[in-house]
C-alpha cells in the first residue's frame, strides 16, 4: 500500500508533462478568440473613420470661418471705398461752391457803375462847363488838349491802342460755364479739353485764373499728378493776385505729397500758411503739414 502511494506523485508529474502548452492568439493577448480579435479590429476601424471624419469636419469648419472673415473684410473694404468716394465728392462740391461764390462776387463787382471820367481840366464829362459848351472827346476816350478848337487838332491815339481783339463777355461766360459743368458732371477728360480751350481763347479774361485752376483740379482728380502740378504752377506764376493762388499752392503741396516729394510739399504748404494766414487754405495746409511729419 505504501508503495502505491509513493508512486502517485511521479505519475501525476508525467501526465502534466505530456499536456500541450497554451495557445497564444495573434493579437498577443492570451485567451482571446478569433471572433473577439475581429470585433476589436472593426471597432478600431470605426474609431479611425470617426477620427478622419472629425478632422474633415474641423477643416471644413475652419474654411467656413475663413470665408466669413474674407467676406467681412471685403465688405469693410467696399464701405471704405464708398466713404472715400463720398469724401472726394464732398471736396469737389466744396471747391465748386467756392468757385460759384467767387463768380457771384465778380458779377456783382462788374455790375457796379463805373466812376465818371474826368476831362483834362478836371471837370466831369457830361457836366456843365464854363460857356455852356461840352469838351470834345476823341477816339480812345481822351480829352482834347486845352485850347483845341476841334477834334482835328486833338492828339491822335497810339496805333497800338485797341489792337487787342475784343472779347465778348457773354460768350466768355458761356464757354467757362460749359467747361465748369463738365467738371461738375465728372466728365473730366472733356472738362480738361474745354478748360484748355478756354485758357487759350481768353488768356486775359475775367475767368482765366479760375479756368487755369480747375484745369489742374481736373487732372489731379484723375491722378495725372505731373500735369496737375504744371497747371497749378501756372496759376501761381501767371496770376499772382488771383484768389485762386492760395488754393493752387495748397493743391501743389498735395500733389507733391502724392509724388512722394515731401520736401517740396512742405515748402508749398508753408508758403500757404505764411502768405495767406487765417484762411481756409492755411488751415488745410497746417493739417497736411502735421500729416507729413511722419515722412
> How many CB atoms within 10 Å of residue 257?
20
> Is the entire prediction scored with pTM above 0.95?
no
pLDDT of 144 reads 36
CA dihedral 193, 194, 195, 198 (to 10 degrees): 120
For residue 44, give Cα distances in angstroms to 24, 41, 48, 107, 112: 21, 5, 6, 94, 102
Distance CA 209, CA 243 (A): 9
C-alpha angle 261-265-270 in degrees, rounded to nearest 5: 155
Please list the residues that pair with 294 across neighbouring strands: none
Kindly list the distances between the CA atom of residue 2 and the CA atoms of 5, 6, 7, 11, 13, in Å, as whole numbers in the listed order: 5, 6, 9, 15, 19
Cross-strand bridge partners of residue 138: 142
What is the Rg, in whole angstroms, of the alpha carbon atoms belonging to the chain? Answer: 49
The alpha-helical segments, DSSP class H, found in the chain are: 2-18, 34-111, 169-184, 188-201, 208-221, 225-238, 244-258, 262-275, 280-291
Q: Which residue has the higher pLDDT, 64 or 222?
A: 222
Q: Residue 272 corresponds to which cell in the numbers above?
A: 500757404
CA separation for the pair 24, 47 (Å, rounded): 26
- Please state the rounded mean pLDDT for residues 97-125: 53
Q: What is the pLDDT of residue 77?
A: 79
d(CA 239, CA 18): 126
Query: 76 or 134: whose pLDDT is higher?
Result: 76
- Is the pLDDT at 262 greater than 80? The verdict is yes
Identify the residue whose cell numbers are 497736411: 288
Whether 73 has a pLDDT exceeding 70, the answer reads yes
Least confident of 63-77, 95-109, 176-190, 254-268: 95-109
33-67 pLDDT tens trace: 667 777 788 788 877 777 777 777 777 777 777 87
Delimit the domains of the chain by residue range.
Answer: 52-90
Q: What is the mean pLDDT of residues 86-97?
A: 70
Amino acid at each position: 500500500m505504501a508503495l502505491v502511494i509513493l508512486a502517485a506523485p511521479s505519475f501525476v508529474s508525467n501526465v502534466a508533462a505530456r499536456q500541450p502548452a497554451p495557445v497564444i492568439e495573434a493579437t498577443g493577448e492570451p485567451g482571446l478568440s478569433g471572433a473577439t480579435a475581429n470585433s476589436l479590429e472593426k471597432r478600431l476601424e470605426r474609431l479611425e473613420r470617426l477620427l478622419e471624419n472629425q478632422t474633415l469636419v474641423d477643416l471644413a469648419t475652419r474654411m467656413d470661418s475663413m470665408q466669413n472673415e474674407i467676406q467681412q473684410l471685403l465688405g469693410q473694404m467696399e464701405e471704405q471705398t464708398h466713404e472715400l468716394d463720398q469724401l472726394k465728392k464732398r471736396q469737389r462740391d466744396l471747391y465748386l461752391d467756392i468757385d460759384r461764390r467767387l463768380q457771384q462776387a465778380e458779377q456783382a463787382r462788374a455790375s457796379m457803375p463805373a466812376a465818371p471820367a474826368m476831362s483834362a481840366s478836371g471837370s466831369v464829362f457830361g457836366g456843365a462847363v464854363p460857356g455852356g459848351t461840352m469838351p470834345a472827346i476823341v477816339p480812345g476816350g481822351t480829352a482834347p488838349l486845352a485850347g483845341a478848337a476841334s477834334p482835328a487838332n486833338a492828339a491822335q491815339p497810339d496805333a497800338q491802342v485797341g489792337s487787342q481783339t475784343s472779347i465778348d463777355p457773354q460768350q466768355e461766360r458761356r464757354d467757362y460755364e460749359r467747361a465748369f459743368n463738365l467738371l461738375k458732371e465728372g466728365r473730366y477728360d472733356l472738362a480738361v479739353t474745354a478748360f484748355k480751350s478756354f485758357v487759350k481763347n481768353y488768356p486775359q479774361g475775367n475767368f482765366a485764373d479760375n479756368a487755369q485752376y480747375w484745369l489742374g483740379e481736373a487732372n489731379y482728380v484723375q491722378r495725372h499728378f505731373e500735369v496737375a502740378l504744371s497747371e497749378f504752377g501756372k496759376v501761381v506764376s501767371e496770376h499772382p493776385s488771383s484768389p485762386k493762388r492760395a488754393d493752387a499752392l495748397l493743391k501743389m503741396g498735395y500733389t507733391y505729397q502724392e509724388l512722394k516729394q515731401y520736401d517740396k510739399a512742405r515748402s508749398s504748404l508753408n508758403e500757404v500758411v505764411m502768405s495767406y494766414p487765417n484762411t481756409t487754405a492755411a488751415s488745410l495746409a497746417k493739417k497736411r503739414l502735421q500729416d507729413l511729419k511722419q515722412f
